[in-house]
Amino acid sequence: MSKVVSYEELQAHTKKDNLYVLIHDKVYDVSKFLDEHPGGDEVILAEAGKDATEAFEDVGHSDEARELLPPMLVGEFSKEDAAKFKTGRSSQANNAASHAVEQGSNLMYFVPLTLLGAYFAWRFY
């Protein structure tokens, strides 16, 4: 039976010499692979303690790259924590989207008013 890794344990391993990433609900210890990663260690460090599945798939890793994963496997990610993790991530995305819409709305309101004010100032000056 494989080890079950909790969210807290995943978060505890975010340093360069002790680094876990989550890919497809499996936790991998990639700290020894950092120096060998063709894309540099920064891209992996950016995903430390997070669900790196989307980043991993977006790059389009080769079959050879996928074959490197099994020896680095630490265990399965906790199903209870996976539900919380995905819920927390979606609420963060919703908050960010809400903030962006609010910021865009403010911009759409003040820019035309500023331009109109500048036009009248120029016209009557």
Output the domain CATH number for residue 75.
3.10.120.10
How many domains, the chain? Answer: 1
Could you give the CA distance from residue 66 to residue 57 in angstroms, rounded to a whole number? 11
**pLDDT surpassing 50 at residue 88:** no
Max Cα-Cα span within the chain? 81
124 assigned to some structural domain? no
Task: Output the pTM of the full model.
Answer: 0.63
68 assigned to some structural domain? yes
The domain containing residue 61 runs over which residues?
3-91
For residue 117, what are the contacts with CB-CB under 8 A and spacing of at least 6?
A: none
Q: Model confidence at 90, in pLDDT bands (50, 70, 90)?
A: very low
30 assigned to some structural domain? yes
110 assigned to some structural domain? no
Q: Where are the alpha helices (DSSP H) in the chain?
A: 7-12, 41-45, 53-59, 63-67, 79-124
